[in-house]
Amino acid sequence: MSGLVTRNRLIGLALAALIVIVDQAVKWYVIKVLSLREVGHVDLLSFFDFTYTENRGISLGLLEATSMESRWLLVAMTAAIAVVVLVWMMREKLLGDIAALALILGGALGNIRDRFEFGYVIDYADFHIGDFRPFLIFNIADAAITIGVVIILARSLLVRDKGATDTGDTPRGETDNA
């Protein structure tokens, strides 16, 4: 089982790295290629556009960094949370739990990089139905964090036996003999 756990953790680290790379690549594309910072808005589909936004706070604009001190405090706070998520991920064994935590870690690292470099997080994804916007403007890192949290919540509510593995192993205390 040790080899499987190590494999699952390596997959988790690779997934987190992939999220950071894709997040930063798309941010680079919308800023440098589409010049979204200058144009502000690009119509794509009837329900999805690119709209440039600088998020100087955390989720829902809370704890907005209005000074250099508050900027670095947010960087430190989110970095501490990322370390906790990394430690949690490295303690997990099941691929489903590790993957969910990897999504959160990768998203957090992508947004931390923005806040470190620019002092704010670049958001651009604008999903809407007419004038109704069910979400704030977001980015791939935000989406990865949200999906990871939803997976963790769903798994904690729906998975009955934490002893079972994602590979179909028999839960602890049970035998394959019927």
Choose the catalytic residue: 97, 114, 123, 126: 123
CB 72 within 8 A of CB 63: no
Q: Catalytic: 123?
A: yes
Give the chain's length: 178
For the chain, what are the domain ranges?
2-158
pLDDT at 118: 92
Residue at token pair 């919540």: 153
Distance CA 151, CA 74 (A): 25
Q: What is the pLDDT along the chain (178 residues), one digit of tens a residue?
A: 688 889 999 999 999 999 999 999 999 999 999 999 999 888 888 899 999 999 887 765 556 677 778 788 888 999 999 999 999 999 999 999 999 999 999 999 999 999 999 989 999 999 988 888 877 899 999 999 999 999 999 998 987 665 555 554 444 444 444 4
Q: How far is CA 56 from the centre of its chain?
A: 17
3-state secondary structure the chain: CHHHHHHHHHHHHHHHHHHHHHHHHHHHHHHHHCCHHHHCEEECCCCEEEEEEEECCCHHHCCCCCCHHHHHHHHHHHHHHHHHHHHHHHHCCCHHHHHHHHHHHHHHHHHHHHHHHHCCEEEEEEECECCECCCCCECHHHHHHHHHHHHHHHHHHHCCCCCCCCCCCCCCCCCCCC
Distance CA 178, CA 56 (A): 58
C-alpha closest to that of 109 among 14, 21, 7, 178:
21
Choose the catalytic residue: 142, 161, 166, 169: 142
Residue at token pair 């910072």: 37
pTM of the model: 0.82
